[in-house]
Amino acid sequence: MLLSGVLLTGCFNKLDPSLNYDANIPYSETVNIPDLEKFHPKLQVLIQRITNEEKDRFLSSTEHLEKLKKGEKPWDIKINTAIEYETEKVVSLILSVSTYSNAVSDYYFRTINYDLSVPGKMKLEHVFEASILKMLSNRSRKQFADIALDVDRLRGGTEPNWNNFQYWNISENGLTFRFPRNKIGPSSLGIQQMKIGLKGLRPHLTEYGKTIWDLSSGE
């Protein structure tokens, strides 16, 4: 069942009962999922699966287990799924996860780009030729050179491979890439993003990629 704006309260009942934890300490979770019933059922299942994966990761995190050992209230969690872009053919979403306890918080995310006509989740390598990786690497290093502070981390996080650019969302005029905390610099930088317009992307599009923005191969 898809939930929207629901505040839930639960306990850590998935923990190993043999461990020395108080599994009855409550936590709260807020899960916001848009009404996706108009989309293909497989997309609904995918979003629910990713949401559950993030909840499970949250429940088993070291921070929570340490709090349970001490008998303290664990962190709470908020999961929000927002539609970044939508057409009859594709939908692009970002699933953000916030965890918090007192004055301490954390934030991370997942992105989903879904072809409603297949239906199926898109990968960057479906949309672009491998030639795009060098361009993305150069662009990101140039954009973040003045703020990254750690040259080695910046170079490692922007090496020309698919994994470094796995968080992306489609827009009307191009793509938005996001880099998690600690990916290209210290965590104090937070999440960074890089936008690239169709003009820069077009030379690297596969034939399939051109269909996303309704670009014919003859144009």
DSSP string, 28-83: EEEEE----TTS-HHHHHHHHHHHHHHHHHHHT-HHHHHHHHTT----EEEEEEEE
Q: Where are the strands (E) in 116-160, listed by range?
A: 120-121
Question: Under 8 Å CB-to-CB from 211, ≥6 apart: which residues?
Answer: 89
Confidence at residue 17, expressed as pLDDT on a 0 to 100 scale: 41
Q: What is the mean pLDDT of the chain?
A: 80
pTM across the whole model: 0.80
Confidence at residue 53, expressed as pLDDT on a 0 to 100 scale: 85
Confidence at residue 181, expressed as pLDDT on a 0 to 100 scale: 86
Running along the chain, 219 residues long, what does each successive block of 10 average in pLDDT? 36 40 56 70 85 80 74 77 90 87 75 90 95 97 88 93 96 95 84 95 96 74
Sketch out the chain's domains with CATH numbers: 6-121 (3.30.565), 124-212 (3.90.640.20)
Using DSSP's 3-state secondary structure scheme, residue 188 falls into helix
β-bridge partners, 100:
76, 105
Q: Is the dihedral of CA 213, 109, 47, 1 positive or negative?
A: negative
Q: What is the pLDDT of residues 39-57, one digit of tens each?
A: 678 888 888 888 888 878 7
Name the residue among 3, 77, 9 with its Cα closest to residue 44.
3
Confidence at residue 46, expressed as pLDDT on a 0 to 100 scale: 86
Confidence at residue 27, expressed as pLDDT on a 0 to 100 scale: 61
C-alpha dihedral (81, 58, 119, 180), degrees to nearest 10: 70
What is the side-by-side strand order in the sheet with 76-86?
6-10, 27-32, 76-86, 90-101, 104-115, 120-121
